[in-house]
Amino acid sequence: MRWMVTGAGGALGTDLVARLGAPGTPPADTLTALTRADLDVTDPDAVHGAVRAWLAAPGEGPAVVVNAAAYTAVDLAETDPGAGAQAWAVNAEAPGLLAAACAAGGATLVHVSTDYVLGPLPGGERRPLEPGDPTAPVGVYARSKLAGEERVRAALPGAHHIVRTAWLYGATGPNFVRTVARLSRERDTLDVVDDQHGSPTWTADLADGLLALARSSAPAGTRHAAGGGATTWWGLARAVFEELGADLGRVRPCDTASFPRPAPRPAWSVLSDVSWRAAGVAALPPWREALHRAVTHHPELLLG
């Protein structure tokens, strides 16, 4: 297969590139990995030119673009109009450009979206969320991600995989796991929100899943993929403390109201893996086991 990864320098992008370059990758596979410095996905001419050049290069088999580029500074997008405009350009408009370029060249697009596009279930019900559940994005980042989904569906109806994931952490860049590890050394106690529920997801596991989905014969569609099971931010912080061998009593639960943020976070964003397994792709491993593997492979995560 012929692969192109955009946003290749981000947390997920780095793992996608590592996976596609790893031993065991089918020898006929070719990879074009483009960081932001290589390709600004908001530049229409650059996007069309990059996709055309990639498709014209030697290579065999189906052509797949995996879009890991995104504007992810969720709170800054809320408070700074320039950042908000950038979030819109990268998260809403650029996926439409990539989808149009894929449509012109006959390529498939794997596009990554977020639990933040989903709204609360009617009547306050709490069950794992399916792709068909109501969307109700709150905030600039969330709205921009939903708009990106819509543009991908419109421009490339038969050849897209939109994958909503949640609570990512990886070896590259800032993330919650690294922050908790750092704060464990800087503070005696940590107050961590215990009324937001979600599914922590290691980017390496998500990368494996995205590539398996693209290699499968699953039809175009929107699916959910996150680490198995669910916890709260407090539960995840305690798990990081467990991995550190630190005193769990130092991690104290608190509520969201104690930590107001510019962009509101969903209280319930546990993602169901039913749509994922229905596509014939293995569910992502349970989040707690994944965290242990992540810090075993990348002990630097626990250095903060």
Ligand X SMILES: NC(=O)c1ccc[n+]([C@@H]2O[C@H](COP(=O)([O-])OP(=O)(O)OC[C@H]3O[C@@H](n4cnc5c(N)ncnc54)[C@H](OP(=O)(O)O)[C@@H]3O)[C@@H](O)[C@H]2O)c1
Residue 63 · residue 29 · CB < 8 Å? no
Q: Name which position in 18, 25, 36, 48 contacts ligand X (CB under 6 A).
A: 36
Q: Name which position in 50, 90, 92, 301 contacts ligand X (CB under 6 A).
A: 90
9 binds ligand X (CB under 6 A): yes
Q: How many residues bind ligand X (CB under 6 A)?
A: 26
Query: Least distance to ligand X from the beta carbon of 229, Å?
Result: 16
Q: Which residue number, 150 or 246, has a Cβ lying nearer to ligand X?
A: 150
Q: Name which position in 54, 167, 233, 268 contacts ligand X (CB under 6 A).
A: 167
Residue of closest CB approach to ligand X:
10
41 binds ligand X (CB under 6 A): yes
Query: Least distance to ligand X from the beta carbon of 188, Å?
Result: 27
Residue span 248-287 as binding mask against ligand X, x where in contact by CB under 6 A, dash where not: ----------------------------------------
Query: Least distance to ligand X from the beta carbon of 28, Å?
Result: 27
Q: Name which position in 1, 112, 171, 207 contacts ligand X (CB under 6 A).
A: 112
168 binds ligand X (CB under 6 A): yes
Task: Concatenate the DSSP letters of all residues of the chain into one string.
Answer: -EEEEESTTSHHHHHHHHHHHSTTS-TT-EEEEE-TTT--TT-HHHHHHHHHHHHHSS--S-EEEEE------HHHHHH-HHHHHHHIIIIIIHHHHHHHHHHHHT-EEEEEEEGGGB-PPGGG--SPBPTTSPB---SHHHHHHHHHHHHHHHH-TTSEEEEEE-SEE-SSS--HHHHHHHHHHH-S-EEEE-S-EE--EEHHHHHHHHHHHHHS-PPSEEEE---BS-EEHHHHHHHHHHHHT--GGGEEEE-GGGS--SS---SB-PBP-HHHHHTT-PPPPBHHHHHHHHHHH-GGGGG-
66 binds ligand X (CB under 6 A): no
| Region near ligand X per CB under 6 A, out of 39-47, 152-160, 238-246, 283-291 | 39-47
69 binds ligand X (CB under 6 A): yes
Place of tokens 């405009």: 85
Write out the catalytic residue numbers: 141
Whole-angstrom distance, CA of residue 270 vs CA of residue 126: 9
10 binds ligand X (CB under 6 A): yes
Task: Concatenate the DSSP letters of all residues of 266-300 into one string.
Answer: -SB-PBP-HHHHHTT-PPPPBHHHHHHHHHHH-GG
Q: Which residue number, 31 or 90, has a Cβ lying nearer to ligand X?
A: 90
| Region near ligand X per CB under 6 A, out of 66-74, 98-106, 246-254, 256-264 | 66-74
Q: Name which position in 44, 173, 229, 253 contacts ligand X (CB under 6 A).
A: 173
Query: Least distance to ligand X from the beta carbon of 288, Å?
Result: 17
Contacts with ligand X by CB under 6 A lie at 6-7, 9-13, 36, 39-42, 68-72, 90, 112, 114, 145, 165-168, 173
